[in-house]
Structures are given as structure tokens and as C-alpha cells.
Amino acid sequence: MDTVKSAARKVSEVVFPGIKISYGHKFTRKSEEVLSSLPLQMCLYFNANYSPLWILIRIGCLVYKFADLPQLYQILLTTVIVVMVIVEISRLYLGYVGNLTEKVPELAGFWLLTLFLQFPLQCLCTFSSDYIILPWERLTDAIMMLFLILEIFIGYFTVKTITNHQALKFKLQMMKSNSTNISTETFLE
């Protein structure tokens, strides 16, 4: 049995260099744990693939109904759609970078853009009866609202988890730094 374990260990070290197989105790340490959220990444992936279609339908519907809208709503709806497209692109970028690299500022920026800009603007375009809402718009906006709601809830817990983990890493680093300074001071005395 030991020969099988040693053979498996040698093969795995060749195939996956840098990985040490250990039997009998936990494999990961808490400070090296990967905390990227798979559900959030899946939502971001599908949202990023869906967004070009959503943008094309939004712009196409705007062009189709532009002449039927009052001038105030023409200007307002055009501005809202331009802002939504810009926010959507930057929001998805920040979400990808923040989640995959576990960077709190990018992930928090993604979550704040989703909660305070994209979601209210999407609600305005979806539920306002002053704009002439076409069936294609209603369908695409309902799907986009589903993505936004999922990303708000999943993103909140992801930001909370990664922030707590980063704070713990910082505290451990400070404790390690302080113990190194204390041992250096006692050595110099």
C-alpha cells in the first residue's frame, strides 16, 4: 500500500508541480484559502455574455420608438441608456477583477455600482409607464433584473467574506511583524 501512495505522490508532483500531497491532516491553511465566489463568477459570466444582446435590443427599441416619445423622454431615455451601458461595462469588469483576484476595492466597487446605479436605472426603465415599453424590452429587462438581483445578494456575501479574510490576513501579518520586531529588539539589547 505504501508503494501505491508513493507512486501516486511522485506522479502528482510531476503532473502538478508545487503541490505536496499530505495524508492524515488538512491540506489548506486558512490564510491560503481561495475565496473567489463561484456563484458570483457564474452570474458575472452569464451576464457578460447576455449584456451585448441586452444593449442591442435596448438601442434597437430606442430607435424604433424614438419618434413616438415626447422630447423630454427622448433626452431622458437616451441619457439613461448611455449611462446604463457605461455602468454595465465598468461594473462587469470590476466584478471579474474583484472576484478572481480577491481584491476588496474592485469587488466593493462592483457591488456599489450594481446596487446604487444599475439596479435603480434598470427599475426605472423596466417599470416606468411613461416610456413606451415594448415586449422585447420587457423580456430582456426581466432577465437583466434577475441577474442584478442575484449579483446584489451573492455579491454582498462575497464582499463580506473576502473583507473578513483580508482583515484576518492583515492582523496575522501585523502580529508576525510585531513579534519579529520584538525578537530583533531583544537580540540587539
According to DSSP H, which parts of 66-134 are helical? 71-101, 104-113, 119-127
> Does residue 63 belong to any structural domain of this protein?
yes
> Does residue 157 belong to any structural domain of this protein?
yes
Residue 184 pLDDT: 58
Where the chain has pLDDT below 70, the residues are: 1, 11-32, 182-189
Kindly report the pTM of this predicted structure: 0.77
Taking the C-alpha atoms of residue 92 and residue 110, their distance in angstroms, rounded to an integer, is: 7
Residue 28 pLDDT: 46
Domain count, the chain: 1
> Does residue 58 belong to any structural domain of this protein?
yes
Residue 27 pLDDT: 42
> Does residue 127 belong to any structural domain of this protein?
yes
> Does residue 84 belong to any structural domain of this protein?
yes
Q: Burial code of 2-17, b = ≥16 C-beta within 10 A, e = fewer?
A: eeeeeeeeeeeeeeee
User: Which cell is 107 given?
Assistant: 469587488
DSSP annotation string for 46-59? HHHHHHHHHHHHHH
| Residue 50, CA atoms < 13 Å, CB-side half-sphere | 16
Note down the domain range covering 69: 36-169
Whether 92 and 51 have beta carbons less than 8 Å apart is answered as: yes
pLDDT digits (tens, 9 = 90+) for 73-123: 999 999 999 999 999 999 999 999 999 999 999 999 999 999 999 999 999
> Does residue 22 belong to any structural domain of this protein?
no
> Does residue 108 belong to any structural domain of this protein?
yes
* Cβ atoms within 10 Å of 44's Cβ, excluding its own: 25
What average pLDDT is seen over the chain?
A: 86
